[in-house]
Amino acid sequence: MPVHRSGTTRFAAAGALLTVLALLLTLPGAAATAADKPPRGSAHMGMGVEAHDGRGALPRDTRVAQTEGVDVSSHQGNVAWSSLWSSGVKWAYVKATEGTYYKNPYFAQQYNGSYNVGMIRGAYHFATPDTTSGATQADYFVNNGGGWSRDGRTLPGALDIEWNPYGATCYGKSQSAMVSWIRDFLNRYKARTGRDAVIYTATTWWTQCTGNYGGFGASNPLWIARYNTTPGTLPAGWAYYTMWQYTSSGPIVGDHNKFNGALDRVVALANG
């Protein structure tokens, strides 16, 4: 004679199964879902630095001439530039673009606002080497705020190349392919603007994803990311850094930087 399971029994079994599934999803190592990834366009300078390299103390006062700067993106919204200027910040970089799909909606307020209070400013591009070619992204950057003008107040564009917030650390590229992608971007940017772009990166990412390639140091200024008392070991090819992002928790806006020289050296970089 067949046994018929009651509705109560079926509901109890279903409830137990859901409980088990919920517990599995809370275990360490449970598969990440698409919802765990940030939305495209939300990347910004240094968002992976602390997670991968950690955070130490603030830089020591070495009495060497350095000039304070900041970098901003849509995360900061409308920036209080006059307050930053009064605090001693004299230069700024503003996120203009990401990939070929995103333009910073606050770019005008940030880029023009920093200029209007007297700062020397430039634009940066967050690279996504897994979406389009380096040359294509350089064109998108230049066409949407990343150009350069010889006005003594505009810094060359910066290529932000670091940990991928949306997937594989090295964007699915081999070390040689990553170097080729970066070279493609840099060559196109120089062809469009006449300037060598600044490279923003972290030594650990650069070592992992380019094999610590040393071929860009002779022409492209280095902007190193490290939240500690010193910038540490630099990537191959660079004997010194031009800029150093030393914290993401500074006053007024989080990301603060030191230019390796007095203000006249910032002007010199702007003038080419």
Q: Which residues of 57-81 are buried (b: 16+ CB within 10 A; e: fewer)?
A: eebeeeeeebbbbbbbbbebeebeb
Which residues are CB-contacts of 129 (< 8 A; sequence separation ≥ 6)? Answer: 161, 171, 173, 178, 181, 182
Q: Of the listed 53, 139, 162, 255, which one is catalytic? A: 162
Q: Of the listed 53, 98, 139, 160, which one is catalytic? A: 160
Residue 162 designated active-site: yes
HEC states along 4-46? Answer: CCCHHHHHHHHHHHHHHHHHHHHCCCCCCCHHHCCCCCCCCCC
Residue 50 designated active-site: no
Q: Of the listed 71, 98, 139, 255, which one is catalytic? A: 71
Residue 160 designated active-site: yes
Closest CA to 189 of 135, 241, 237: 135
Active site residues: 71, 160, 162
